[in-house]
Chains A and B, each alone.
Chain A
């Protein structure tokens, strides 16, 4: 019986590894969707949008809200999740500016991987590419 159990565990692990989708480059379609969402969201200067890898359901992304809302420049209940487009949409407190590094760190502490931060500029969203976590 022990041999069978070990065999089944090994089989499950193998199936899982094989079944797991290969890491794939971000699609142009998703990037375009995120750019569109950011453009709409950043209508005013007190907004920030972040594209977040791994963010695909609102419940497991609760931590993103909890961590980012603790930042002193973020408005109370100032984080919305757009899971369809894998984005965190942030509203800043009046008169405050965003610290992109602090937002990136907060999202990482929530267990996710921020890839781009979009900030307001009069010419359209200003995009900061986030370096991969070491």
Chain B
């Protein structure tokens, strides 16, 4: 774990002594499942890396080049019927990186603004059984390009369409899920990106769960990333749900066409959030 993430994680765990979890995300996935339900969630994400690579080859980083990205995610959901809901996701980004200028000096660049805004329409087929519940989801989605100002762009500015498929099954103790997503890139010269997701977890107490999630993302315009780690969540009451998750980078490759494949990996990810449902 990166040393600067450790204090953040420890601090968050101390501030949240009792946490539980929810597969997917506390608001967007499990709830609201009821007709006319709605909610919103805010969570903070932090990523950082100083691992320089060229494709799958690790490079030395004598200049200590690095990046850090802090994202405030603001997300909302409305459920018409249990089989259809809409979600809106707005990520607000503050990112900095160090790069070498044309004279070989290390300079710092910063980018702030909103990343792609995603509008999705999850369609779910639920299976209610004695002491268990499951669902298949198909989610068509569109992402509207965010801020694309140089020198440190947050988004490519293009509007893309995508879809995901997922399956979740839950009993009083066990949680299991798989998912796959695909985005069709509309920007000229850019390749489509896709991702896979698995989760397995344990429901404990009556208010939460502990899960282990693994994500695989391949964006041929940036990087390949395999991350895995725990999630704890807790519903404080029938309205407020909280979640903390950490994913360790297990495998990474870099592609970045503008630098001949050389770049920093995506890095470890820490997310802490709270959601409200009504």
A: which residues have CB within 8 A of B? Answer: 1-2, 5, 8-9, 12-13, 15-16, 19-21, 23-24, 26-27, 30, 52-60, 62-67, 81, 83-84, 86, 109-113
Contacts and interface: CB of A to CB of B under 8 A. Distances in A.
20 contacts: A1-B191, A5-B180, A12-B179, A13-B167, A15-B178, A16-B178, A24-B129, A27-B130, A54-B126, A57-B30, A57-B203, A59-B209, A60-B22, A62-B32, A63-B37, A65-B238, A66-B37, A83-B172, A86-B130, A110-B33
B196 interface: yes
Interface string B103-134: 00000000000000000000000111111111
B126 A111 contact: yes
Contacts of A86: 130-131
B238 to A, nearest CB: 5
Nearest to B180: A9
Interface string B12-54: 0000000010100010001111111100000000000000000
B86 interface: no
Interface string B149-185: 0000000000000000101011110001011101000
Contact of A63 (B32, B208, B233): B32
A86 B33 CA distance: 17
Nearest to A16: B167
Nearest to B33: A111
Interface of B: 20, 22, 26, 30-37, 82, 126-134, 136, 165, 167, 169-172, 176, 178-180, 182, 191-192, 194, 196, 203, 206-209, 220, 233, 235, 238, 241, 277
Nearest 10 CB-CB pairings of A with B: A54-B128, A63-B34, A16-B167, A111-B82, A111-B33, A54-B133, A113-B128, A58-B206, A60-B30, A53-B128
A40 B34 CA distance: 29
A59 B236 CA distance: 10
A83 B173 CA distance: 10
Contact of A110 (B34, B132, B191): B34
Contacts of B32: 62-63
Nearest to B198: A12
A56 B131 contact: yes
